Amino acid sequence: MSQASGPALGLQKHYIGGEFCASESGATFEAINPATETLTALAASGEAADIDKAVKAAKAAFDDGVWSRAKPSFRRQVLFRAADLIEARSAEIIALQTLEMGGPIGPDFGGRPHPVMERSAWNLRFFAQEQEQAGNHSFNRDDSLLTYTMSDAAGVFGLITPWNGPIMLSTWKMAPCLAYGNSAVHKPSEMSPLSIRILCEIFEEAGMPSGVYNMVLGYGQDAGIPLVEHPDVIGVSFTGSPATAKDIAARSAAQLKRTSFELGGKSANIIFADADLSKAVPAAAASIFMNAGQACIAGSRILVQEEIYASFLEQFESVAAGWTPGDPQDRSTRLGPLVSKRQYDRVMNYLALAREEGKILFGGGRPPMREKGYFVEPTAIIDVAPSARVCQEEIFGPVATILPFTDRDDALRIANDTQYGLAGYIWTTSQETAHFMSHRLEAGMIWINSGFDRDLRQPFGGMKLSGLGREGGGLSREFFTETRFASFPLTPRSEGVGGH
């Protein structure tokens, strides 16, 4: 190992067929604490043999029907138990997420579960209820022909999830997948291999039949590719980078697999002169500094109308001062480290580029008090062209570009001039402006005078390079089920079958 001391935690194993197991080859990789740069655990490094074992377990469980053909009420019962257990083990899960990806542990919520864990639990509860309540459709034709649709479990799905919200983003995919009766093989990011173990334990304790949910740790090239290419995997749901999504799409096309992609973003946070700055400024700061800017829907491009541009800069810098990087184990810390050395180097390279393309208003480097850890100061870049790389490329760090605009047409021109189209934020007291902008902004999700508020019935996904397909509510049902119809006459018929 590269570290002198041994890992603080034991070997993190795969979960296949209801059992924790090491890799068939015995291969492992290191989990590094991004706040201290020390080794926290070794994790089993999955390969094709492990994926095959997991897919076979998932398919056997699906074919057995103990889950896929179970009563919806049974699936709801199990998923509700799992949701309760997520909340009960909230503190434990958050502590592990802090170790693996550096997210601040957060304040004491007075005995309540951490809000992120409440949301993770709600993912399960929502889809558990949705699958039980969603009925089939029936159609009567005027010649007494009855047709009804059926949306049944489709098979084994591959779920590939990112590191920047390990449990919340995993439950967002697995909740509909499992609720509708499918089996799953889950490959979490290699940068977040710790907290997912708790979820495996929770599903088992909740009573989920063995083989329905399987989890294989490892790298994309070793475990992700075999998962995508496995012939018994009917579809892949992926959250991550556009480059990886293109590779998954190409590999899936060979077998006509269904795919769903939620990808990167360079979202515009548009602030008009009539906006309530007492709300817009702190919201804009939270949008880019929360989770150290490591969020696909981060408002990384802040567009401010010229009349209030100078005032906004002053207020934004004042609010940003409250986002001091600190120890994520400290309950007062709001801004933790980046997830890895690789991500730290990437952000630092963009900050060097920012000095060539524009001007650093504040921040722009490692906090002076942090000698260890992948910490980056909250940073704002100004005097930069909308076409500059720092304005066009996803940095995925606590780095905002702030650009002025003249009117709403100018704001739209700047906001839409990007290859991404995931989210957008509009701050105005004019209802007419809000509607005008929301209908023309090229983004899959738009928040007006708010941010990050979610209703799980909403379509979640992006335009352009920000994704393909939508998830949420009935749209998740469409992706994770096989829709068919049955048609028969209500009265005896002697004539031939009709046409289309």
Nearest partner of 189 among 342, 19, 398, 345, judged by Cα: 342
> Which residues pair with residue 138 across a beta bridge?
148
- Which amino acid is present at 446? I
Q: What is the DSSP letter of 497?
A: P
3-state secondary structure of 194: coil
Nearest partner of 266 among 420, 414, 411, judged by Cα: 420
Helix segments in 419-471, DSSP class H: 431-440
Q: CA–CA distance from 5 to each of 1, 40, 96, 97, 98 (Å)?
A: 9, 10, 19, 21, 20
> Which residues pair with residue 146 across a beta bridge?
140, 488
Active-site annotation holder among 100, 262, 442, 471: 262
Distance between CA atoms of residues 136 and 34, nearest Å? 48
Quote the radius of gyration of the chain (alpha carbons, Å). Answer: 24
**In the annotation, is 262 catalytic?**
yes
Distance between CA atoms of residues 178 and 157, nearest Å? 10
Q: What is the DSSP letter of 333?
A: -
Active-site annotation holder among 47, 130, 229, 296: 296
Distance between CA atoms of residues 485 and 499, nearest Å? 16
Nearest partner of 457 among 166, 88, 10, 126, judged by Cα: 126
304 φ, ψ (degrees, to nearest 5): -125, 135
Q: CA–CA distance from 12 to each of 7, 50, 196, 341 (Å)?
A: 11, 14, 9, 21
Active site residues: 262, 296
